[in-house]
Structure 1
Amino acid sequence: MTPRPSELQRLSQPSSYAEKNDQKDLLTPVSRNDVHEDEIWTRKPPVAEQSPGPIPNGGLWAWLQVLSGFMLFMNSCTTYVPETSESTISWIGTLASFILSSSATFAGPILDRGHPRLLLVCGTFCVVFGLMMTSLADRFWQLLLAQGICTGIGSGQLFIVSVALLPQWFTTKRSTATGIAATGSSAAAIIYPPMFHYLVDSIGFGWTVRSIAFVALAVCLVSLSVARMRTQPPPRPKIVDFTGFKEPEYALFALVPFFGGIGLFIPFFYITQYCRENVGGISEELSFWMLPILRVGSIFGRTIPAIVADKAGNLNVLAFCTIVSAFLGFGWIAADSIAGIIIWSLFYGCFSGAFVSLQVPTVVSITKDPKTIGGRGGLLSFLSYADVLAGQTTLRALSLTCEGILIGNPIGGVIVERSWGGLQGFCGATLVTSAAFIILTRLKVVGVSLTRKT
């Protein structure tokens, strides 16, 4: 049936005020002040924001981010200066650790805003410049500025990029990718100290540290060439976001690195001194190599548990490895032979490595908004080291000396003056406390079920 002319005229007229305005807008030129010149006589529909698509969970660019993280982890640890007095090294190392965590706290939100390259450039410059200035330093305040502050700032910026980019590229393999990247710091501990040990006598302190700086520069340039963000950042996140502490599971888990960081790394700081004083028949050369042996075990500990965690859950594996590390901390008391200390070092390095590699994947798994990972990872790093500077300042105020310290927790220096057994017990006790908070976090996330993956 053909409509009448009057009906066609009625249907062609606007039926509402909104339709009248729409027709008027289509016929009215747009002001030059509102749009670009090329769009004055055209009205284009709004373009929807392009989605980055599903997380690839592999592929060339995803694994290149793992390579980038590995290289950045290599330069997110401080190089100590053995020829300086132990008290001076204690101050420099403590300050560097605190500055690293503090700068990571502010670097995380900058990364969340979509500026990883800015952090990489600034971090690379600070690390290399700090090492170059260390090679020229001959006074305490110069070492404090170069190693403690400059290198610490750069290390914090590199650290947060190394851990926060990977969750954008991996889901089911997230822990594995983070674990492989985290082995970079173990590789650095195997490369840099022997490099210093064997070069300093032949080419001198200055050129030895400069050589390390050139290696650090080359390693960072690899990361600069391949690191990239996969997703667009949210509109202007907060510089420091404390909203995560309103979530009970994150607030509980934040106490894990706080307590664990106090004791977990004590063997790494004291293993060489312990061997010299307590292991019968050990040579000076083998005592020096005990730290690299400990780090070799850490390589396996940062990868194998991470692979298992992708199947069994991050909190499950992290709790198990931390409990075993606590028992090994107490068992350190019995390692007084060459064979015993070597076996103990490999096992402790293996199980303690999971504490480092599984923290960020765990934060990702319990965080509701993935675009806040950078900021939350930075706060977690800050809590890991906040107790270090506080402990150092308190001990100095009480006029307590910390003999025998390299770069580590100064509280251990006070305990070891009285008893090695006290230091080893302190190591185990802090890990027991940390494991308790891991279990509490798991109970909050999944309840009492033993089969649920976290």
Structure 2
Amino acid sequence: MTPFDKIPHEYRIPDGGLQAWLTVLGVWFLSVATYGAVLSFGVLEDYYVRVYMTNKTSSQVAWIGSTQLFLLQACGLVSGKLFDEGAPLQIVGGLLYVFSIFMLSLVKENQFYQVFLAQGVGMGLGMGMTFIPATAVISHYFYRKRGVAMGISFTGSSVGGAVFPIMLNKLLHNPSWTFGNVIRLFGGIVAACLLVTNLLVRTRLPPRKLRTWEAPPPSVMVLFKDPPFIVASVATVITTFGIFFPIFYIQLMSALHGVDPNLSFYLITALNAASIPGRVIPGLLGDRLGPLNVLAACQFVCIGIILAMLGITGPAAAPPIVIALLYGFFYGGVIALTAPAAAQMSNGVHEVGLRIGFVYAFIGIASLFGAPLQGELLSDRFRWNRSIIFSSVLMAAGFVVFVVARFLMAKRKGTQFV
């Protein structure tokens, strides 16, 4: 008998219903406020390096974005387990997130450590306390449709990643707006999104201590005894060292190669807009062909697109536009299928939050070092080929390891649709 069979009928996964889709909508708004903000960091990277923190290199500035991304994901190991235990984290995390944005709005020029603490640490912790638990709630409502439900909710990050760069690019370079006012406007939008999330997202399962059926407490040690899951987690770490390179650097790279600023400012927006169908279509395919299969295919294509960035050698507009659109779609597939793939490897809903949090913690470790390493390879002479090759080689290595994990999982389940 599986943990699913022990759950009373009223707590069985419904795979739909009004509250289920309201929860998806609530997580959608959370994705706008969290990942949508993170995916806009390329705009701030460009602004900080060229305008607001000219005393720092691109590698040093990248630590702000990578720390924020690290904490968003690495906090999942703790917040995911606390979620499985029934702890409410969304309100506290949301308040910390909004407070940190306000503190960022007070920072003056060339104050690196103040920006690092407010944006990298404070905002990152707030995001991490809210994102993983809310994402795991979707698994309480969906099983067979889990991939498409999570994919739809994750399109919020694409919308935020498309809208925020336009807003930031327009206002940060507008003399009528100060840096502080722009950040406060951003904070107001984030606060509104978080309010909607807290109103809509509702967990179905009671805290573990109040459950009437037997389910083992979520334990990290159980995960280390699961070879396919651990191999997949290692593959995710290796892949993450390279996957965020276009998002952090495509605007800066295009601007320094003389691409029209009116175009280069919209590249991150285009990339994130293309990831909207990239989060839904692969999710649909994943529900039919298996999330690990589709995830591996998206990873493979991303490798080639990163290598194609070597073709950005001058002011021509076509290469960066095509790269942004294609990468947005397939990168979106990788992001949207990560959580469903981790959930599929779970032994029951009692450990979904832990497994998703564990995978995102691994992703967070690589996110912390990936962008700064790429910045160091880039150097102050902007040697793009070194960072591009570094990112694509690690993506390729991660893909190979992930294929091994997929093979082990297929062998366990006795089917190729994993």
Q: Answer whether TM exceeds 0.5 for this pair.
A: yes
CA deviation after TM superposition for structure 1 residue 335, in Å: 4.4
The equivalent residue for 1:442 is 406
Q: For CA contacts below 8 A with separation 6 or more, give which structure has more relative contact order.
A: 2
Determine the C-alpha separation between the residues in 2 that align with 1:146 and 1:448: 45
Shift of 1:260: 1.3
Q: 2:191 aligns with which of 217, 234, 240?
A: 217
Letter in 2 for 1:365: Q
More helix by share: 2
Name the CA distance, whole Å, in 2 between partners of 1:49 and 1:424: 49
Are 1:298 and 2:275 counterparts? yes
Q: CA 1:240 to 1:286, structure 2 compared with 1: closer, same or farther past 3 Å?
A: farther
Whether the 8 Å CA contact 2:134–2:201 is kept in 1: the answer is no
Q: Distance in 1 between matches of 2:267 and 2:152?
A: 22
Aligned residue type for 1:119: L
| Correspondent of 1:73 among 31, 34, 46 | 31
User: Matched residue of 2:417: which SS?
Assistant: coil
Partner residue, 1:143: 115
**8 Å contact kept, 2:71–2:128:** yes
Q: Is the 8 A contact 1:132 1:213 kept in 2?
A: yes
Aligned with residue 386 of structure 2, among 409, 422, 425: 422
Alignment partners' CA distance in 2, 1:388 and 1:212 = 23
**Structure 1 residue 228: Cα displacement:** 0.9
Give the alignment of 1:221-236 within 5 angstroms: 221-235=195-209
TM-score (norm 2): 0.86
Which whole-Å CA distance do the structure 1 matches of 2:117 and 2:377 have between them?
28
Preserved contact between residue 249 and residue 444 of structure 1 (Cα < 8 Å): yes
Q: Does 1:120 align with 2:90?
A: yes
- The worse-fitting range, judged by mean Cα deviation, of 294-303 and 83-92 is 83-92
What is aligned with 1:347?
326
More displaced 10-residue stretch of structure 1: 51-60 or 206-215? 51-60
Cα distance in 2, alignment partners of residues 162 and 154 from structure 1: 13
The whole-number CA distance in structure 1 between the counterparts of 2:392 and 2:7 is: 51
C-alpha contact (below 8 Å) 2:217/2:350 kept by paired residues: no
- Correspondence 1:165-314 to 2 at 5 A: 165-200=137-172, 201=174, 202-235=176-209, 241-278=220-257, 282-314=259-291
1: distance between equivalents of 2:303 and 2:414?
21
For 2:334 and 2:342, the matched residues in 1 are separated by 13
Structure 1 equivalent of residue 100 of structure 2: 130
User: What's the secondary structure of 1:342's corresponding residue?
Assistant: helix
Q: Deviations over 1:381-408 (max 9, x none)?
A: 111121344x4xxxxxxxxxxxxxxxx6
d(CA) in 2 for partners of 1:185, 1:275: 23
Indicate conservation of the 8 Å contact 2:62/2:375, yes or no: no
2-structure distance, mates of 1:103, 1:251: 18
Summarize the alignment of residues 41-120 of structure 1 with structure 2, pairs less than 5 Å apart.
Answer: 51-77=9-35, 78=38, 80=41, 81=44, 82=47, 83-85=52-54, 86-87=56-57, 89-115=61-87, 118-120=88-90
* More off after superposition, 194-203 vs 372-381: 194-203
Distance change >3 Å, CA 130–CA 66, structure 1 → 2 = same
Separation of aligned partners in 2, 1:143 and 1:428:
30
SS of residue matched to 1:447 = helix
Report the secondary structure of 2:86's partner residue: coil
Structure 1 runs of 4+ aligned residues shifted over 6 Å read: 236-240, 448-451
* Equivalent position SS for 1:232: coil
Shift of 1:49: 8.7
1:410 aligns with 2:387: no
**C-alpha displacement at 1:297, in angstroms?**
1.5
Moved more, 253-262 or 85-94: 85-94
TM-score, with normalisation over the residues of structure 1?
A: 0.79
What does residue range 292-371 of structure 1 map to in structure 2 within 5 Å? 292-336=269-313, 337-371=316-350
Which range is displaced more, 194-203 or 153-162?
Answer: 194-203
Q: Which runs of 5+ in 1 are unaligned?
A: 1-47, 392-407
CA–CA separation in structure 1 for the residues paired with 2:63 and 2:287 = 39
**Bigger Rg, structure 1 or 2:** 1
Q: 2:74 touches 2:363 (CA, 8 Å); kept in 1?
A: no
What is the CA–CA distance in structure 2 between the aligned matches of 1:329 and 1:242, rounded to whole Å? 36
Structure 1: which amino acid aligns with 2:269?
A: P
How far 1:164 sits from its partner (Å)?
A: 0.7
Residue range with higher mean Cα deviation, 311-320 or 416-425 = 416-425
Q: Report the more deviating stretch, 181-190 or 237-246.
A: 237-246
CA deviation vs aligned residue, 1:342-375 (integer Å, no higher than 9, x gap): 1221111111111111011111111113211112
SS in 2 for 1:52: helix
State the one-letter code of the partner of 1:225.
Answer: L
Which letter does structure 2 place at the counterpart of 1:124? Answer: G
Deviation readout 1:195-221 (Å, 9 max, x if unpaired):
222234223221211111111011011
Same amino acid, percent of matched pairs: 29
Find out whether 1:158 has 2:116 as its counterpart: no
Q: CA deviation at 1:94?
A: 2.7
Measured after TM superposition, the shift of residue 64 of structure 1 is 0.9
Distance 1:178 1:345 in 2: 23
Q: Number of residues paired by the alignment?
A: 386
- Determine the C-alpha separation between the residues in 1 that align with 2:331 and 2:70: 21
Say if 1:322 and 1:435, in contact at 8 Å, map to a contact too: yes
Query: 1:239: how far off?
Result: 8.5
Question: Aligned-pair distance for 1:415?
Answer: 1.9
Match of 2:3 in 1: none
